[in-house]
Amino acid sequence: MKIAVVGAWHVHTMEYSTAILNNPKAELCCLWDDNEERGKATAEKLGVPFQPDLDAIWNDPTIEGVSITTATYQHKEVLLAAAAHKKNIFTEKVLTFTNEDAQEVAKAIKDSGVKFTVSFPHKTWPTLKAAKELVDSGKLGQITYARVHNYHNGSVAPMPDGSLGWLPPHFYDASQTGGGAMMDLGAHPMYTLHWFLGEPKSIVSQFTKVTGRAVEDNAVSVIEFENGTIGVSETGFVTNGIPYVMEMQGTKGGLMVHNDTLEYTCEETGNKLVQMTDLPEKSTMPIDAWIDACCGIGEAPNGIDDAVALTKFMVGAYESYNTGKKYVF
């Protein structure tokens, strides 16, 4: 299938585009970006033509799909156009800034019948797949507390020119991103908590600006779920320490994921903390699974309802922070 890249704004543009290039079922035919200099430079790196006219992509019947890595504020317009022109859609998260826009996009995508996937790569991890199976088995009892910690050093890593941080400046422009660390890197804890715990009831957020940039670079949201379960979403761009930790505590046991290691305790382990060694295989990455689905193989993962749910979590998180109050869903 022929796929066009729509947008070179996001830091994952090269990753997704390279995956398309490496997939034997796909052909990366061109790249568009609203910044011609950036678009041409990215297209040259990929060895594909730069297409300055977005309408030419929409109106080309040979292009079956698009990989969307524009600025987040452009998502609604681009997603609606893609759906209207029957292009299968792979998109970077988050879907949109508002619940209303998310619902409008969802309706358009469902009406169009196109294959849709949002990039939730952590759901492919062997550790998280095993953790989900363990939680769903009931061996840990009712989950009462969950914490997902996901950080990197994108704002503090020393760079060759003496500056700090490898994230591009536009990642700190709220008009383009809709927020800072929670909107970007915090998406992973949010969709993971939704995957494990279901729908939220309320949320409270605390964000800070460690490096003094325009958006938060250090963030925590505490979420109330059904049955009294508490979920904590932790994220930031300001640590060189431990990048990933997940905890699940239940009435009969608990688990901890630390980077690539899963440990758990419950009745079958004699209530001792043991490492799980028989982890499942890593799942196909979302973009490759989407390409498979477009070619009639399997289902497209992380569908539009999952994308809408993530927007709901983010709207609540930022509304709580901006008002200083608990947000009730």
Residue-wise pLDDT tens digits, 225-276:
988 999 999 999 999 989 999 999 999 999 999 989 999 999 999 999 999 9
pTM value > 0.85: yes
Same domain for 142 and 276, yes or no, is yes
Per-residue confidence (pLDDT) for residue 227, from 0 to 100: 87
> Is residue 43 in some structural domain?
yes
Q: Which ranges of the chain have pLDDT less than 50?
A: none
φ, ψ dihedrals at 132, nearest 5°: -65, -45
Q: Is residue 82 part of a domain?
A: yes
What does the pLDDT read at residue 194?
Answer: 98
- How many distinct structural domains can be found in the chain? 2
Domain boundary among 114, 132, 150: 114
Residues 98 and 133 in one domain: no
* 94 prior amide bond cis, ω within 30: yes
In a domain, 13, yes or no: yes
Local structure of residue 211 (DSSP, 8 states)? T
Q: Containing domain of residue 23, as a range? A: 2-114
pLDDT (0 to 100) of residue 233: 99
User: Tell me, what CATH number does 316's domain have?
Assistant: 3.30.360.10
Tokens 């505590």, residue? 249
User: H helices of 23-90, where?
Assistant: 36-46, 54-58, 75-84
Length of the chain: 329
- Please tell me whether residues 72 and 104 are part of one structural domain: yes
Q: Are residues 17 and 144 in the same domain?
A: no
Q: Is residue 319 part of a domain?
A: yes
pLDDT of residue 136: 98
Rg (CA), the chain: 20
**How far is the C-alpha of 199 from the C-alpha of 304, rounded, in Å?**
16
Residue 31's φ and ψ, nearest 5 degrees, are: -135, 135
Q: Is residue 83 domain-shared with residue 127, that is, in the same domain?
A: no
* Distances, alpha carbon 268 to alpha carbons 140, 185, 246, 264, in Å: 10, 35, 21, 10
Label the pairing between strands 88-91 and 116-118.
parallel
Residues 103 and 77 in one domain: yes
Q: What is the residue type of 232?
A: V
pLDDT of residue 281: 98
